[in-house]
Amino acid sequence: MTAMLNVKDLRAYYGQVQALHGLSFSLNEGSLTTLLGANGAGKTTTLRAICNMVRSTGAIEFEGAPLGSRSTESIVRLGIAHVPQGRGTFTTMTVEENLQLGAISRKDKAGIVSDIERMYAHFPVLKERYAQQAGTLSGGEQQMLAVARALMLRPRLMLLDEPSFGLAPLIVRDLFKILGKINREDKVTILVVEQNAQLALELADQAYVIETGRIVMSGNAKEIANNEDVRKSYLGY
Amino acid sequence: MELFTNQVLAGIATGAIYACMALAVVMIYQAIDHLNFAQGEMAMFSTFISWQLMQWGIPYWWAFLMTLVISFAGGILIERLLFKPLAKAPILTNVAGFIALFAIVNSVAGLTWDFTIKQYPTPFGSSPFLGSQLISTHQAGMIGVTLLMLIGLYLFFQFTRIGLAMRAAAALPESARLVGINTSWMIALGWGMASAIGAVAGILIAPVVFLEPNMMGGVLVYGFAAAVLGGLTSPLGAVVGGFLVGVFENLAGTYIPGVGNELKLPIALALIITVLVFKPAGLFGRAIVKRV
């Protein structure tokens, strides 16, 4: 397996404050990796740095090519879909318009139409609500929509920032099942940031644990989940 | 009763112009969160361009179309050169930029075409419309052209991908970038379209207020009043606000004793203040809540 995303010595800054202190990690093609850590550890910042949404230094390579100082939108167009914290739903637009926006950088009209149908098959509730304003959807439905919108890009890599946030446990289970399916069937490499460590480790095959802007642990998700010390000190369950 | 109908219809005709100006202001406000104080001057300059083209012998509608294209390009150019570099600057810097643009455009127009008042032609004529004394053909033309343009804009924003991308960029810039939209170009496009919409307003109102560098001053104040009344966050509100302000202005001038023509402008200002005090978000706008 080759590394799809390679991050080396990533440092990120908010004004004068440094949030990441030299992070290095890599994602294998086809893998489902989770990035764990407490509040303020730098998980969101890591995702934002990959998409050049925060000032950072270090080297990020995607499929062998450096991202350099590319703009956010051109990084996305390379095939990196980012579902941000808070979902970033276009609340005043309809569900279907949200899906079309996900595919706005694509030119193949027929492919877009069939992908929208495919999303409705993945997430039947979106089909029921296709003409509704996205802001009227429940939290869980909006998260489904955010994932579907990201998939409309036909991404090679999908970054998800705390998809479980604010959702009922049952809905989170559903959502994670769908993520696993997308990873296996659509061959999308996934990096998911989570606070819900237990669930994320069940889903993922690789895991990284970060603390105050540094990676403190990495490895196979099963091993990390079974390691008593890790669980007590970093994952809190 | 005939006086009333007459004033309402005339109000709708000038209201159409206010609607255009308000829409242009709202489009830029949505994109960059600033009021374009120079919108009126840009429209005036466009009108002069069309006048110049006609002086060179180009027929009215060709000059009209060419002016739209030139204004569109000019709007984009102004954004790229002046306001893109100011995107992250404080509010006051931007305000200074708009005032500078206002002064520059006004002076350049005066320098090029001087400050004397010029006649401006209308392709519709000014005979009674359909034989009725209520409204002239030019007023009917103003309403007709504006409605056509508004329908065109609605279709563009509702049914084209680029219209969808522009709406997304204005609503949530960060999310728009995350689906791959170049929001910076969407802002420039918005400027181009606002500039072209202003050109339509200037060309349509010029036969009424006559062509000179200060022709749009009063019109823009009404445009602002319309935008505030309808809600600065709502394009639909701006258009409805434009027509309401036009009608209200005429009725107040006719029926409130002592108001007359001279006091019409303060009415627009009074309207702005009243709306801001009692319903700051306007009729169709949504309240803007900011986390601090």
Residues in chain A: 237
Q: Which residues of B touch A116 (CB under 8 A)?
A: none
Name the residue with tokens 């990196």.
A80
Measure the CA–CA gap between A13 and B6, rounded to whole angstroms.
64
Helix, coil or strand: residue B129: helix
A62-93 per-position pLDDT tens digit: 998 999 889 999 999 999 999 998 889 999 99
In percent, the amount of chain B with pLDDT more than 70 equals: 97
**DSSP one-letter code for B249:** H
Mode of pairing for the β-strands spanning A17-28 and A3-14 = antiparallel
Instruction: Outline where chain B has alpha helix (H).
Output: 2-32, 39-55, 60-78, 91-113, 137-159, 161-171, 173-178, 183-209, 217-230, 235-255, 264-278
Q: Do A93 and B179 touch (CB under 8 A)?
A: no
Q: Where are the domains of chain B?
A: 2-215
Asked whether the beta carbons of B168 and B175 are under 8 A apart, the reply is yes
Non-local (6+) Cβ contacts of A195 within 8 A are A36, A38, A39, A162, A164, A165
Q: Where are the domains of chain A?
A: 3-91+153-235
Instruction: Outline where chain A has alpha helix (H).
Output: 43-50, 72-77, 95-102, 109-122, 124-128, 139-151, 169-185, 197-203, 221-226, 228-230
The pLDDT value recorded for residue B259 is 73
pLDDT surpassing 70 at residue A118: yes
Say yes or no: B179 contacts chain A, CB-CB below 8 A.
yes
Complex ipTM over 0.95: no
Chain A residue closest in CA terms to B182: A73
A178-233 per-position pLDDT tens digit: 999 999 998 999 999 988 888 889 889 999 999 888 998 888 988 888 888 777 77
User: Which two three-digit tokens encode residue B25?
Assistant: 């202001």
Asked whether the beta carbons of A86 and A163 are under 8 A apart, the reply is no
CATH superfamily, with its number, for domain A3-91+153-235 = P-loop containing nucleotide triphosphate hydrolases (3.40.50.300)
pLDDT surpassing 80 at residue B290: no
How far the first Cα of chain A sits from its last, in Å, is 32
What value does the mean pLDDT take over residues A15-24?
92
pLDDT surpassing 70 at residue B288: no
The pLDDT value recorded for residue B291 is 52
Measure the CA–CA gap between B19 and B226, rounded to whole angstroms.
7
Which among B267, B243, B171 has a CA at the least distance from the CA of B20? B243
Q: Which residues of B touch A97 (CB under 8 A)?
A: 164
How far out from the chain centre does Cα B190 lie? 13
User: Who among A72, A93, A100 is closest to B178 (CB)?
Assistant: A72
Measure the CA–CA gap between B203 and B67, rounded to whole angstroms.
9
Q: Which residues of A touch B84 (CB under 8 A)?
A: none
Q: What is the mean pLDDT of chain B?
A: 91
According to DSSP, the residues that pair with A79 across neighbouring strands are none
Q: Which amino acid is at A120?
A: Y
Count helices and strands in chain A by DSSP H and E runs? 10, 10
Asked whether the beta carbons of A23 and A7 are under 8 A apart, the reply is yes
B102-156 per-position pLDDT tens digit: 999 999 999 999 999 999 999 988 788 776 777 889 999 999 999 999 999 999 9
Name the residue with tokens 């180009």.
B58
Q: Do A88 and B175 touch (CB under 8 A)?
A: yes
Say yes or no: A77 contacts chain B, CB-CB below 8 A.
yes
The pLDDT value recorded for residue A235 is 65
Measure the CA–CA gap between B254 and B266, rounded to whole angstroms.
15
- Global pTM reads 0.89
Say yes or no: A72 contacts chain B, CB-CB below 8 A.
yes
